[in-house]
Chains A and B, each alone.
Chain A
Amino acid sequence: MSAAAPGTTFIILMLPFLAALIAPWLTRRIGHNAAWVLALAPVSVFVHFLGFSARVADGGIVTGGFAWVPSYNVSFSWLVDGLSLTFVLLISGIGALIVLYSGGYLKGHANLGRFFSFILLFMGAMLGVVISDSFLMLFIYWELTSITSFLLIGFDHTREASRRAAIQALVVTGAGGLALLAGLIVIWNITGITQLSLLLSFGDEVRASPFYLLALILVLGGAFSKSAQFPLHFWLPNAMEAPTPVSAYLHSATMVKAGVYLLMRLNPVLGETVWWETVLPVFGGATLIVGTLLAIRQTDLKLMLAYTTVSSLGLLVMLTGFGSEHAIAAAVLYLVAHSLFKGALFMVAGLIDHEAGTRDVTKLGGLRGAMPITFAAAMAAAISMGGLPPFFGFLAKEEIYYALWATDPWSLVFTLVAVIGNGLMFVIGFAVAIKPFLGPKIETPKHAHEGPVLLWLGPLTLSIVALAAAVASPLTHRFVSSPMASAVAGDPETVTISLIPHLGAALALSLVTVVFGVIVYRYLDSARAGMAKTLAAIGWGPDRGFDQFVSGMVRLSVAVTRVIQPGRLDVYMTATFLMIALALFAPMAWYGEWPSMPVWPADAQYHELAVFVIALVGLAAVINARDRLTAIVSLGVQGFAVALLFMLFGAPDLSFTQFMVETLAVVILALVMTRLKLTASDHRSTRDKVVDGSLSLACGAGFGLYLLAVTQQPFDPFISEFFAQYSKIVAHGTNVVNVILVDFRGTDTLGEIAVVMVTGLAVLSLIRIRTGFDGRAVADNDPEQREEAR
């Protein structure tokens, strides 16, 4: 372990956020060329972290950070090992290309600056996710990626489909984030550790804990929602409403892999159990098959790619959960390969859309002459995606088959799943790369020609990297694959696979996959029609389920609101006082602590008794009053009598306040009464009178008994003696009540006056609302009234 220059790393981690801050301003100044400047931020991140690669390749890890909230053991700290380093390099490297690509793709867009800002914010958040060492930091960055993804999907916020997709993604991934937080807290409670780097050596404690399953389910909730595992996959294809750079970056190369990252990171802690090695492959495998089948059905280039992203994520989850060393190596290789080829293919799809004006695969063809560079980049990416040499995807696929192939039924099932999934992805990859370019030329909405350098630079670079990584595989394995696989497995691993094919099961399975893919490709149109028919027959899907869920929630909340907020003051008052009566009686009844009957004081003075009589007279007047005003004033009489009692028994401050409160209460109640234009007298039915009367009696009797019970407890003079003793010495005041209010317990008072102010504000706005809208009362929480008001 070594901590090198924490300051620099911190600044580097904050760079994307700083770039996001200046992006709108810079874009106003120099337009879409701001991309060249803004791309410096991810490039700096890339270069800085590349400097760690030698140390990480030798099995070292780099940590650093600052204490953040030391009293809760929360730190801002990072952990760079093989796993996070690979992710950082992918995020920053692809990020730089995406920033450039965005500059070309959204050139001249009115909100380009905002777009740069969002995408750089996302980049900062995503870097934070993969670099975080502390749980809380991981969670905060995790949710920040959900929020920035929401902003980016809803970037074109004037379209309803965008807004729906954005909200859907936020609900699914945000809820998953909360599950993750809960899971991390469970792990924290099991081990008492808040840092991932320390947690890695406590796997046995976690696995042995009775709360293991709970922690696993919660963490998987976070990972599966973020990485779009079936049946939570539906938000990802909808997220294609976002501009293409976002789809290429967030929804294929980086953010959706956060779930996979989490699983890989926690593999040494939660893995190697029956649960882990069952749940992950089953869900992953199901996602792989469902994703590819749905992809076959699509005609939109982006949607085809989106569904294969879903299936690729399924494949990654399946491999991560498979548990063997080769499965982990395969997951690592496939993750890198997928980021490279899928990012490139998405950028190609956007490029075609940008230049030809459509991305419907059935309306495209013969573009190879017009867009030769794009065609080359697309073909390279598709070859990698199809798992053919000499690209990096080939290595990944060989390793997958190497890891899965065995003769027991469990392995055979998953080998079959992998072959079908890979074969169908092969089909989609080439459908995206070949259909728009080869064949007879089809007239497109725009006259297609090669895009500007900003647009083809990204896909071309990624394809070249995929080629170079495969050709120089020993180097790739030394600096990327092996350290990352070691971090995932928790033990040192060496990845050795190279482009030279070894005769064996893996190669045979590859051949089967290619043959299967070629056959399906030939009959793609009929396969698509068949899938469309099947899906129409099924009808219901999780996407519609989400809508049903949301409208169900709305209906439920309307129903609940109708019950608990009917807008009738008497219902609120009845409920409030009922609760007060219950709260007073229930504890005394539960614990059997009824007060004993007080004895009549022998030394009661006549004037004290007279005050009691005044209070009783006031009370009788309230009950028998003919009109409301008399009742209110009589209530004041009773209140003044109580204030007098306070005075007689030595509480002048309390008495003063009681006098003023009573006065103001009478004045304000009288004003409210005239304001509300109530009838002068009370017209309650006998039933209402009985209910209200018994409630009042219950509350009054409850308070009386409660006070008696309290005063019958032995008196502990500690606190009052403390205040009497120290009031003068410490706080320089002899009025103990006031000293407590403004000095000893001043912070409480500060809170209370804030409440007083806010209450005043609320009352004021309630009074205003009544006359606000042409004298019509409009409540925000009543959907029907609001509809009418429209």
Chain B
Amino acid sequence: MRTVIFRSIAPYLTSLMLLFSIFVLLRGHNEPGGGFIGGLIAASALAIYGIACGVAPVRRAIHYHPMAISAFGLFIGAFAGVLSVFSGVPFMTGLWVYPELFGVELALSSVLVFDIGVYLVVVGAISSIALALEERDRD
């Protein structure tokens, strides 16, 4: 698998895919996309990088253990749900704010936070499986 061509383009491919995954995540509320599909794209990106250049560089690049990323995702997903309880509305009710940033109105919401949580859970869980399977040298 570790051909020169594959190894050369893998970093570019991975970064493009990661970027695209975030794009898909953020536009999800109004266009096709969302946290789940975004997470799958990012997990594939990491898997490709791992196949091309080995697992160790991937682990270095993402710094945290993928399972920790997944757990953090679950945490902020739950946190986004709990947020609404503090505002006196039922659990998981979406909360929206519209701050102006550089003259552009931004739609931020607890729903978006929740979607980011979904994204992180999927990235972490899938890539930790894929990376563990790719670590063949430990056999």
| A interacts with B | yes
Which residues of A pack against B, CB within 8 Å?
652-653, 656-657, 660-661, 663-664, 667-668, 671-672, 674-675, 731-735, 737-739, 741-743, 746-747, 749-750, 753-754, 756-757, 759-761, 763-764, 767-768, 771, 775
Shortest distance from the beta carbon of A536 to any chain B beta carbon, whole Å: 61
A768 to chain B: closest residue by CB: B132
A interface footprint on B60-86 (CB within 8 Å = 1, 0 otherwise): 000000010011011001100100000
Q: Please, how many angstroms separate the alpha-carbon atoms of A667 and B51 in the complex? A: 10
* B40 engages A657 (CB within 8 Å): yes
Asked if A653 meets B33 with Cβ closer than 8 Å, knowing A732-B109, A760-B124, A764-B128, the reply is yes
B101 at the interface (CB under 8 A from A): no
Among A667, A672, A747, the one with the most B-chain Cβ atoms within 10 Å of its Cβ is A667
Is the pair A747, B114 in contact by a Cβ cutoff of 8 Å?
A: no
CB-based contact A674/B136 at 8 Å: yes
Q: A664-B126, A753-B73 are in contact. List 4 more A-B contacts (CB 8 A).
A: A656-B24, A664-B44, A737-B34, A764-B132
Give me the 4 closest cross-chain CB pairs, A-B, nearest first.
A760-B125, A660-B40, A671-B133, A733-B29
Name 8 A/B residue pairs within 8 A (Cβ), A-sorted: A653-B33, A653-B37, A664-B43, A667-B130, A668-B129, A742-B118, A761-B125, A767-B129
Cβ distance B110 to chain A, nearest Cβ, rounded Å: 9
Cβ-neighbour of A749 out of B40, B47, B118 (below 8 A): B118
| A319, B138: Cα distance in complex, Å | 72
Nearest CB to that of B107 among chain A residues? A732
Chain A CB within 8 A of B30 CB: yes
A741-B78 in contact (CB<8A): no
Q: Is the CB of A733 within 8 A of B30?
A: yes
Q: How far is the CA of A416 from the CA of B4 in the complex (A)?
A: 100
Q: A653-B37, A760-B70, A771-B139 are in contact. Are A667 and B47 (CB under 8 A)?
A: yes
| B30 in contact with A767 (CB, 8 Å) | no
Write the B22-45 contact mask toward A (1 if CB under 8 angstroms, else 0): 001000111111111100110110
Q: What B residues does A741 contact at CB under 8 A?
A: 34-36, 118
Are the CB atoms of A656 and B32 closer together than 8 Å?
yes
Chain B residues near A (Cβ < 8 Å): 24, 28-37, 40-41, 43-44, 47, 51, 67, 70-71, 73-74, 77-78, 81, 91-92, 94, 96, 107, 109, 111, 114-115, 117-118, 121-122, 124-126, 128-130, 132-134, 136, 138-139
Interchain nearest-CB distance for B43 vs A (Å):
6
- Tell me the smallest distance from the CB of B41 to a CB of chain A, in Å: 6
Contacting pair A652 B114 (CB below 8 A): no
Contact A738 B34 (CB under 8 A): yes
Contacts A660-B44, A735-B33, A760-B70 known; A746 to B133 CB distance under 8 Å? no
CB–CB A742/B115 < 8 A: yes
Given A661-B40, A664-B44: A732 touches B29 (CB 8 Å cut-off)? yes
Chain A residues with Cβ under 8 A from B31's Cβ?
734-735
CA distance in complex: A771, B135 (Å):
11
Beta-carbon contact of A667 and B129 below 8 Å: no
Contact present for B30 and A735 (CB under 8 Å)? yes
| Contact A732 B94, beta carbon cutoff 8 Å | yes
A757 touches B74 (CB 8 A): yes
Closest B residue, CB atoms, query A664: B44
Chain B residues near A674: list those with CB within 8 A.
136
In the complex, chain A residues whose CB is within 8 Å of the CB of B109: 732
Residues B125 and A757 in contact, CB atoms below 8 Å apart:
yes
Given contacts A756-B121, A756-B125, A767-B132, contact A746 B73 (CB under 8 A): no
Q: Which residues of B contact A767 (CB under 8 A)?
A: 129, 132-133
User: Which of A653, A660, A742, A763 has most B Cβ within 10 Å?
Assistant: A742
Complex interface: chain B residues within 8 A of A743 (CB): 92, 94, 111
DSSP class of B's interface residues: helix, strand, loop or mixed? helix
Which of A668, A675, A746, A756 is in CB contact (< 8 Å) with B111? Answer: A746
Within the complex, the shortest CB–CB distance from A738 to chain B, in Å, comes to 4
Whether the pair A657, B124 counts as a contact (CB closer than 8 A) is: no
Question: Bound state CA distance, A389 and B15, in angstroms?
Answer: 95
Nearest-Cβ distance from residue A651 to partner chain B, whole angstroms = 9
- Measured CB to CB, the closest approach of chain A to B12, in angstroms, equals 18
B92 adjacent to A746 (CB under 8 Å): yes
* Chain B residue contacts of A672, Cβ below 8 A: 133
Residue from B40, B71, B117 having most chain A Cβ neighbours under 10 A: B40
Shortest distance from the beta carbon of B24 to any chain A beta carbon, whole Å? 8
* Minimum distance in angstroms from B94 CB to a CB of chain A: 5
Contacts of B134 in A (CB 8 A): 671
**Is A738 a contact partner of B28 (Cβ separation < 8 A)?**
yes
- Contacts A746-B111, A749-B118 known; A757 to B29 CB distance under 8 Å? no
- Chain B, Cβ-Cβ closest to A734: B30
Our pick among B36, B117, B128 for the contact of A760 (Cβ within 8 Å) is B128
Residues of the B chain whose Cβ atoms lie less than 8 Å from the Cβ of A742: 28-29, 34-35, 111, 114-115, 118
Contacts of B114 in A (CB 8 A): 742, 746, 749-750
Q: How far is the CB of B122 from chain A (nearest CB, A)?
A: 6
A759 to B, closest residue via Cβ: B125
Residues of B within 8 A of A667 (CB): 44, 47, 51, 130
B111 surroundings in chain A (CB, below 8 A): 731, 733, 742-743, 746
**Whole-angstrom distance between the Cβ of B85 and the nearest chain A Cβ:** 12
How close is A752's CB to chain B, nearest CB, in angstroms?
9
Interface centre among B41, B51, B126 (most CB of A within 10 A): B126
Nearest-CB residue, chain A, relative to B73: A753
CA distance A734 to B133 in the complex (A): 39
* Assembled-state Cα–Cα distance A764/B71 (Å): 14
Cα separation A761 to B71 with both chains bound (whole Å): 10
Contact across chains for A657 and B36 when beta carbons are under 8 A apart: yes
Alpha-carbon separation in the docked complex, A750 to B35 (Å): 12
* Most chain B beta-carbon contacts within 10 A, residue among A746, A753, A764: A753
What's the nearest-Cβ distance from chain A to residue B119, in Å? 9
Instruction: Please report the C-alpha to C-alpha distance between residue A742 and residue B30 in the assembled complex, in whole angstroms.
Output: 12
Cα separation A661 to B47 with both chains bound (whole Å): 13
Instruction: Please measure, in the bound complex, the distance between the C-alpha atom of A785 and the C-alpha atom of B24, giving whole angstroms.
Output: 49
> Which one of B29, B74, B122 lies within 8 Å of A735 (CB-CB)?
B29
Q: Are A675 and B136 in contact (CB under 8 A)?
A: yes
Residues on the B chain within 8 Å of A671, using CB: 130, 133-134
* Nearest opposing residue in chain B for A651, CB measure: B32
Give the shortest distance, in Å, between B125 (CB) and chain A (any CB).
3
- How far apart sit A760 and B123, CA to CA, in the bound complex (Å)? 10
Whether the pair A753, B132 counts as a contact (CB closer than 8 A) is no
Cross-interface CB contact of B77 among A652, A660, A733, A753, cutoff 8 Å:
A753
User: How far, in Å, is B74 (CB) from chain A's closest CB?
Assistant: 5
A756: B residues at CB distance < 8 A:
70, 121-122, 125
- Asked, given contacts A660-B44, A664-B47, A668-B133, whether A753 binds B67 with beta carbons under 8 Å apart, the answer is no
The reply to whether A764 and B36 form a contact with Cβ atoms under 8 Å apart is: no
